[in-house]
Amino acid sequence: MLILGIESSCDETAVALVRGDRSIVAQRIASQDEAHRPFGGVVPELAARAHAERLTPMVAEVLDEAGVALADVDAVAATAGPGLIGGVMVGLVTGKALAWGAGKPLLAINHLEGHALSPRLADPALQFPYLLLLVSGGHCQLLGVEGVGRYRRLATTIDDAIGEAFDKTAKILGLGFPGGPAVERAARSGDARRFALPRPLLGSAEPHFSFAGLKSAVLRQWAALPDKTPTDRDDLAAGFQAAATDCLVDRTARAIAAFPQATALVVAGGVASNQHIRAALAAVAAAHGLGFVAPPLWLCTDNAAMIAWAGAERLALGLVDTLDAPARPRWPL
């Protein structure tokens, strides 16, 4: 089985060819960081235009590199949401046109399902059910993954997503865009104990996440500093990362108790590429006698291999879509 995957829901334009045996035949990921950097965040209109310019040539490049014709693929999988709607429409309509032209089935993929199943692309041994911590720019959720298309939401954020909190912290501290990796870098040389920062909902009986109060505390503490030296910046970045990690660990430990059938604790999404967070989650899994699975770093941030793989999992179950599949800005799993 050979699946062509397309991803365009945020600021990465990505195309991949993935086989049912998990081999990635070819892939391209074009980042739009340079286009959005002057604005300090992703500008939806610029993102959609860049996807429209890059996507079709990238499909041709990936097919060329693999030495594969469109007629050789078994299905076309494209992200159909959730995400920035202009970009989603570009990717989905491109996928529909390719599927229609080649007479192949279309798989309209939920981007979150792409993240949720991505650990199974990296680790053939990972079996359902597993407990998934999905941490990205738009989402922070704990999901009981019972099978393909069978997701039980155990917790979500009541305000900001964790990636958003990393990005806003980076902006406050003048660390630039994209924010998550910049905060992680700064935190490496910082003293996490210097600033007292809140840990919203820590120990709470309710299952959810909250990061707005932590972000506001970073803003207040930063504003109160007279000199704002590089050391101040690194210490506050480290304090923020430590507080956010404590929240993730606490909420995850709670969910482990609420989903005892899990065979493993799995983390996915852009924030899962953070080494400090990965280490803390590995420790909480070990403390509960659970295996821990974290995909390779490139598979955590947005890519098309995970979309193609979700397509492969769905095609194997006969879950194909029709050409009228809608593009959805919001689409909970």
Binding residues: 111, 115, 134-138, 167, 180, 184, 274, 302
Q: What string of DSSP letters covers 271-330? A: GGG-HHHHHHHHHHHHHTT-EEE---HHHHSS-SHHHHHHHHHHHHTT--B-TTPPP-S-
- Which residues are registered as beta bridge partners of 63? none
From ligand KG4, Zn ion, none, interface partner of 179 (C-beta below 5 to 8 A by class) = ligand KG4
Q: Name which of Zn ion, ligand KG4, none residue 301 binds, using a CB cut-off of 5 to 8 Å depending on partner kind.
A: ligand KG4
What residue 180 binds from ligand KG4, Zn ion, none (CB within 5 to 8 A, per partner kind)? ligand KG4
Q: Is 109 helix (H, G, I), strand (E, B) or coil?
A: strand
Comparison of 79 and 169: residue with beta carbon closer to Zn ion = 79
Which H or E run contains 142?
strand 140-147
Cα 286–149–20 angle (5° rounding)?
85
- Residue 209 pairs in a beta bridge with 157
Q: Which amino acid is at 312?
A: A
Known binding residues for Fe cation are: 111, 115, 302
> Which residue, 58 or 140, has its beta carbon nearer to ligand KG4?
140
- In the complex with Zn ion, the residue whose CB is nearer, 79 or 221, is 79
Q: Are strands 264-268 and 2-7 parallel, antiparallel or unpaired?
A: unpaired
* Residue 331 interacting entry, from ligand KG4, Zn ion, none, C-beta within 5 to 8 Å by type: none
Least distance CB 221 / ligand KG4 (angstroms): 19
Least distance CB 262 / Zn ion (angstroms): 22
For binding to ligand KG4 (CB under 6 A), which residues are involved? Answer: 10, 136-138, 163, 166-167, 178-181, 184, 269-271, 273-274, 301-302
